[in-house]
Amino acid sequence: MVHEKQHYVNGAWVDPLEPFLLDVIDPSTEEPFTGIAVGGPKDVDRAVTAARAAFPVYSRTTPQERLELLRSILAEYERRRSDLAEVLCREMGAPLQFAQEWQSAPIDLVSMINVLQQYRFDELQGSTKIVREPIGVAGLITPWNWPIGQIMMKVAPALAAGCTMVLKPSEVAPLNAIIWSEVMHAAGVPKGVYNMVQGEGAVVGEALSAHAGVDMMSFTGSTRAGIQVACSAARTVKRVAQELGGKSANILLPDVDFTKAVANGVLKVMRNSGQACSAPTRMFVPADRHDEVKAIARATAETLVVGDVRDPRTNLGPVVNEAQFNKVQRLIQGGIDEGAELITGGLGRPSHLKRGYFVRPTVFANVRNDMLIAREEIFGPVLSILPYRDEQEAIELANDTVYGLAAYVQSSDLAHARRVAARLRAGTVHLNYPGLDRCAPVGGYKQSGNGRENGRWGLEEYLEVKAVLGYEVQ
């Protein structure tokens, strides 16, 4: 890789105007293995200027032209996918096999191609024409936990809508964004349409959010950081679309097959080392089945292999960095201190690992909904099991959170599961662990954000609506 010390602006790799080097740490070794140049407000201004200059021409391209561009990007992406998997393994600690099969999968790019093929940007309503037009320059801030997937989830609909953009990827896992920018260049994205500035959220993210030349912000990350983005964007009345934190409930109804439902729930929490905002981290179970659930959960968690991310037998790599490791340890200690029952895992690394930010797969039982581990987003491989007396209590407890990103319901009676789902305050409800639907909208209620990504809903976040009255003569 040759572009770590540069940004991508106006169709070219450029040196930063405000150079500052930041180490990139391998979380498996705790050692830096390269560095990137992070920018500042002047770099952001240069990128926004390029995006604004490119907007008048790109915004007038046809949907078919944009469709062909997305297809070219997909073809180039497939050529670089193995490079991306290697980088994700190194910079964020994803097991290589997981990075190859899931982290680097271009499903959101493919999904947006399918959406664009069918989407209608205008319609006639009586004598009025309703037109959907690109909103302008989009500022995109992406996280480190699903880094390349989140980049695709924002860049693809922005391109499909006819917007130009400036991307600020996570400085914690930044190298995948460099490869993505190389893909964009090789695919022939017009100059200024796509720009990328590396940097820290408090500097580059703040400058991008506050910039008067940016028409909307799309942010994925913590609720704390999302509040800062919204405050900065409010000064210029930007649209803000956000996907923020989560503390998702997983309600197991009494009629479910507990052996399967509990095991699948544990695995979904532990996936990606627990670093998923929609993970079902609060498992609600009937009180009279609590001991049975504990045994299944313990047995499942103890089958997981934590360690060498290049070993195909490994299920969990490290969490992404020291700060995240320390946060997870603090919250595990908090669960112990508050009297939750630790049934497996706990503090520290697995005993066979002497370095790296590895966390033991941890399960707490007899958790109350007012405990710290049931309130805070841990973002690590930690499950809380909460007993409930009846269905009404389960629903009330599930909704008793500041978050509302996702929820899960397990029942052998689908009609029953649907009735419970209707009462849950969450942007996505999963019934009986369904497969992926990348055209379904993703987003949250309450402090889990606003706006939606994926499918036509994701595309429409980047569109303005114009009404042309008198378009047809009556």
Catalytic residue annotation: 243, 277
Q: Which H/E stretch holds residue 118?
A: helix 107-118
Q: Which H/E stretch holds residue 23?
A: strand 21-26
Q: Do 362 and 382 touch, CB atoms closer than 8 A?
A: yes
Between CA 435 and CA 279, with CA 222 as vertex, the angle to 5 degrees is 25
- Which residues, in sequence order, are CB contacts of 142 under 8 Å at separation 6+? 150, 151, 154, 167, 168, 169, 170, 177, 220
Walk across the sheet containing 128-134 and list its strands: 122-125, 128-134, 463-468
- Which residues, in sequence order, are CB contacts of 221 under 8 Å at separation 6+? 141, 143, 201, 244
Q: Do 243 and 406 touch, CB atoms closer than 8 A?
A: no
Written as one string, the DSSP assignment of 415-427 is HHHHHHHTT---S
Tokens 């572009």 sit at which residue?
3
Question: Quick one: DSSP state of residue 366?
Answer: S
Nearest to 172 by CA among 126, 221, 213, 131: 221
Dist. CA 390–CA 98, nearest whole Å = 38
Dist. CA 39–CA 4, nearest whole Å = 12
Dist. CA 258–CA 107, nearest whole Å = 31
C-alpha distances in angstroms, 457 versus 347, 440, 443?
A: 41, 8, 10
Please compute, for residue 323, the number of CA atoms within 13 A of its CA located in the half-sphere on the CB side: 2
Residue 374, classed as helix, strand or coil, is: helix
Dist. CA 254–CA 391, nearest whole Å = 9
Region for residue 32 given its phi and psi (left: phi exceeds 0; alpha: psi -120 to 50; beta: otherwise): beta
Dist. CA 55–CA 64, nearest whole Å = 17
Q: Which H/E stretch holds residue 293?
A: helix 290-301
Residue 37, classed as helix, strand or coil, is: strand
